[in-house]
Structure 1
Amino acid sequence: MKITAVETHVCNARMRNWVFVRVLTDEPGLHGWGEATLEWHTRAVVGAVEDLAELVVGEDPTRIEHLWQTMFRQHFWHGNDIVRGTALSGIDIALWDILGKVHGVPCHRLWGGPVRDYIRLYGHLGGGLMEDFYESDEPARFAELGRALVEQGFTAFKAMAVPPTMPLEGLGPVRHAERCVDAMREAVGEGIDLMVDCHARPSPRMGHLFARALEPFGLLWLEEPCWPERADDIAAIQRSVSTPIATGERLVGIHGFRELLEKGACSVLQPDVTHCGGLTEARRIAALAEAYRVALAPHNPQGPVSTAASIELGLATPSYLICEAVTGDVPWRAEVVTESHRIDPAGMRAFPSELPGLGVEIDLDVVRRHPFEPELLQRVYYADGSVGDW
């Protein structure tokens, strides 16, 4: 069996262009689906997939580790930058989909079988609709959107209640974050888990202030309280509060995750299977997390192939805590893919499927109805006109 081609199919979903990767083989009807979605870098990723395709076409698709090493190490530059790492991830996910189909089993059975009965899902405020998740800034609106998610069945959700701040500001933004989180907690009660995503907006010192201020609300975690490049500062914030700190979505490859764990920088690792090196590297990261007894909760705001892959990973990973799930970014999301896992709306839990591989198939007719468009720009400037972090 040989790989005959690697294709990309781009589907515009407003904030993101989903980049679906299809690996074709010389076996009739046998192909695999992956995803390599990277907002604001779509054309670069498509080109990187084309470059990597030269390394794998003509090769045996079941030699996944060998092909991963080839894509990561060949052509001199290692695949640990975000564009090449995303392209590599998309191909790698598709290879696992093929291997599951070859053996007639879902991917999680290739990795030792299920270690749990279901995967708990958590929601994005507003279901992932860009205007609700990224642009809401009034406490009453946070409370309204939180109640809506609970009514939808979620027992946990994440919100961006921390505004962009300069390296040092007064109490204004900290008190605003307190009011927003307090409104959500009051609206949904203590039986619902809340997570707050700082989006790496704060400086280390502002990150400390936000973490201290939000500690009384009993968050499941506080995410990216400062730049991910500052592992020592993330570790200092983790030590200063009882709130678990989560980070890792921007890291490519196992080495950055190793540094976080060695420094005791977080309680929750968040590799993104479409960026970190695919399912192959995600499983290595998961094994490392298990050694440190740190929870795994993959970053997953992308398209439906990423979600299927993240759920399959969780079904076979002991340290896996919960899976991010976007449900309302575009109204036709469910039309683009066949559902791979049964979702129980009473609690938003995903149950294992016995479909082979990832269990998904992309409807290319739907993809063609939503061709590439430049993503909606997201720019942040401080009051004085200087550039901030989105």
Structure 2
Amino acid sequence: MHITEYELFEVPPRWLFLKVTTSDGTVGWGEPVVEGRSKTVKSAVEELLDTYLVGEDPARIEDHWQTMYRGGFYRGGPILMSAIAGIDQALWDIKGKTYGAPVYELLGGAARDRLRVYQWIGGDEPSDVADQARQKVDAGFTALKMNGTPEIERLDSPAAIEAAADRLREVREEVGDEVDIGVDFHGRVSKPMAKRLVAALEPYDPFFIEEPVLPEHLDDLGEVAQHTTVPIATGERLYSRWDFKGLFEDGHVDLIQPDLSHAGGITEVKKIASMAEAYDVAVAPHCPLGPIALASCVQVDACLPNALIQEQSLDIHYNETNDVLDYLADPSVFEYRDGYVDIPDDPGLGIEIDEEYVRDRAGEDVDWHNPVWRHDDGSVAEW
């Protein structure tokens, strides 16, 4: 068996799907994308497949991963690692279908029967979060996540800190102490503001504080951690085990969030998670993306002893035109009950893509880019 062809589909709201077909007709799906840079990643996927993978045996996943990563003198980064990630997902999907087993069975078998998920509330600039929190808890979710702030100055006012604390307080008062609430700083916050914000939010018991500083400033996490006992989460903008190595050695992170469509796919995130386990760090994969990325996350989560919870994009504020279940032939595979999703038992990634619908939606003009925010003085703010 060998890889004979592939197709790429840019689909709304902001996703890129990869279909890989083998000589015996087996099809594997992947989701190689950087949000807002789908066309760039598409070119990287085409280069890797055209110059190397077409004609190769899809079963040699580890060797293909090493070749795609180490075969170029320049390596790493979001574009290349996302291209590798989507290809890797498709290869695992093919392998699982070939052996008639879910991917997690090929990775050692399930370590759990179901997986806890969390639900986003609020938008880029958080508002109406208390009302949304009540709706999601009434729908069965036991864990939520919200943005902590809109754009914020390097040194902002006491009012900005009070507003962030008030939003979390309102959500906590609305849903009570039985619901977990993650707060995402989204890398918007400077180190001095992060220190003040984590202290102000602590009385309302956040589940975790996410990306309190930018990836460029991970060496500042220790100083932020001195101002709170709230668990610190980060990692959606780290792309390999080498990127995570220093983070583990520093010892200030409690929860990592590698992205299965950015951090080298199933092969690499399984290794990153094993490294995390050795440092007593939990894993909650980043996934505000589509169904293939989510399916890949669930397959890896299923066999991780240190998987804590899974992000998923149902009703997220980015999904204005299509949602995560729209592209599935059987959406019930991601049926959330009591805040959990069952581990699937179908072969490969455990999902069936509605290819006819994918082709129909791929005819739309997809050109999503994140907004560029600016401060009052006109300078660029972190989004």
| TMscore range, shorter length | over 0.9
CA RMSD of the aligned region, Å?
Answer: 1.5
Instruction: Please report how far the alpha carbon of residue 376 of structure 1 lies from its aligned counterpart in structure 2 after TM superposition.
Output: 5.0
Residue of structure 2 equivalent to 1:303: 290
Give 1:101's aligned amino acid.
K
What secondary structure does 1:134 align onto?
A: coil
Counterpart mapping for 1:73-152 below 5 A: 73-78=70-75, 80-125=76-121, 132-137=122-127, 141-152=128-139
Give 1:123's aligned amino acid.
Q
Which shifted more, 374-383 or 36-45?
Answer: 374-383
What secondary structure does 1:357 align onto?
A: coil
Among residues 152, 159, 177, which one is paired with 1:190 in the alignment? 177
Asked if 1:55 is matched to 2:52, the reply is yes
Among residues 328, 338, 345, which one is paired with 2:329 in the alignment? 338
Instruction: Please report how far the alpha carbon of residue 271 of structure 1 lies from its aligned counterpart in structure 2 after TM superposition.
Output: 0.2
Residue of structure 1 equivalent to 2:232: 245
C-alpha separation between the residues in 2 aligned to 1:91 and 1:331? 23
1:59-116 CA-to-partner distances (Å, cap 9, x unmatched) read: 11000000001111113221x1111111110000110111111110001100111101
1:309-340 CA-to-partner distances (Å, cap 9, x unmatched) read: 10111110100000001112245542311347
Question: What runs of 5+ residues in structure 1 fail to find an aligned partner?
Answer: 126-131
C-alpha separation between the residues in 2 aligned to 1:384 and 1:118? 49
Residue of structure 2 equivalent to 1:25: 22
Give 2:4's aligned amino acid.
T
What secondary structure does 1:336 align onto?
A: coil
Instruction: Please report how far the alpha carbon of residue 143 of structure 1 lies from its aligned counterpart in structure 2 after TM superposition.
Output: 0.4
Which shifted more, 97-106 or 162-171?
Answer: 162-171
Residue of structure 2 equivalent to 1:129: none
1:16-48 CA-to-partner distances (Å, cap 9, x unmatched) read: 2x11111111012x0111101211101101101
Residue of structure 2 equivalent to 1:128: none
C-alpha separation between the residues in 2 aligned to 1:238 and 1:341? 40
Counterpart mapping for 1:1-390 below 5 A: 1-13=1-13, 16=14, 18-28=15-25, 30-53=26-49, 54-78=51-75, 80-125=76-121, 132-137=122-127, 141-328=128-315, 329=319, 330=321, 333-339=324-330, 342-343=333-334, 345-370=336-361, 371-375=364-368, 377-390=370-383
Question: What runs of 5+ residues in structure 2 fail to find an aligned partner?
Answer: none
C-alpha separation between the residues in 2 aligned to 1:209 and 1:67? 46
What secondary structure does 2:17 align onto?
A: strand
Alpha-carbon spacing, 1:340–1:355, altered in 2? closer, same or farther (3 Å):
farther
C-alpha separation between the residues in 2 aligned to 1:364 and 1:248? 32
1:354-376 CA-to-partner distances (Å, cap 9, x unmatched) read: 21000222223222333242115
1:174-216 CA-to-partner distances (Å, cap 9, x unmatched) read: 1110110011111111110000000000111111111111011
The number of residues matched between the two structures is 376
What secondary structure does 2:43 align onto?
A: helix
1:197-253 CA-to-partner distances (Å, cap 9, x unmatched) read: 000001111111111110111111000011111122123212331000000000111
Instruction: Please report how far the alpha carbon of residue 168 of structure 1 lies from its aligned counterpart in structure 2 after TM superposition.
Output: 1.1
- TM-score under structure 2 normalisation? 0.95
1:257-297 CA-to-partner distances (Å, cap 9, x unmatched) read: 11111001210000001000111000110100110110000
Give 2:29's aligned amino acid.
W
1:150-190 CA-to-partner distances (Å, cap 9, x unmatched) read: 11111001001222212112212111101100111111111
Residues 258 and 284 in structure 2, CA contact (< 8 A), matched pair in contact too: yes
C-alpha separation between the residues in 1 aligned to 2:334 and 2:16? 24
Give 1:378's aligned amino acid.
P
Percent identity, aligned pairs only, is 37
Alpha-carbon spacing, 1:173–1:322, altered in 2? closer, same or farther (3 Å):
same
C-alpha separation between the residues in 2 aligned to 1:74 and 1:116? 36
